[in-house]
Amino acid sequence: MHRKALEKAEKRALERGASLELSKVFKVLGDTTRVKILSALSERELCVHDLAILLGISQSAVSHQLRKLKDARIVKFRKKGREIFYSLDDEHVEKLLEMGIEHVEEE
């Protein structure tokens, strides 16, 4: 019985590359400013200027955090004229954010 459980655990274990990528995602999510940005983007697409106003921080600080989120494939962007609008990369990010909120709000 022990052997079967071990074999099952080995099949479920993440490969080294996937483990590293997942740890990078969680590391990027480990910052309150970035979590606030994601929360705002979960409501709607926003530009740097709007995010700066919402969060009460400089546009350069927002841009710095967005770069980290973009590099981790957590947010994506689209250009409209001279403005750049950011949104969550996909439904997985939205689910991850929702699940995290549910987890911390549980008693």
What are 85-99's pLDDT values in tens digits?
999 999 999 999 999
Q: 16-28 and 59-71 are packed helices; what angle lies between their axes, rounded to 10 degrees?
A: 160
Q: Give the pLDDT confidence score for residue 11 in this predicted structure.
A: 60
Please state the pTM of the whole predicted model. Answer: 0.82
Cα angle at 52 between 28 and 96, to 5 degrees?
Answer: 35
**CATH no., domain 2-105:** 1.10.10.10
Q: How far apart are CA 41 and CA 7, in angstroms?
A: 41
pLDDT (tens digit, 9 = 90+) per residue, 52-101?
Answer: 999 999 999 999 999 999 999 999 999 999 999 999 999 999 999 999 99
Sheet holding 83-88, edge to edge: 46-47, 83-88, 75-80
Cα(21)–Cα(16) distance, rounded to whole angstroms?
9
Tokens of 29: 């999510």
54 vs 9, residue with greater confidence: 54
Annotated domain spans of the chain: 2-105
Amino acid at 106: E
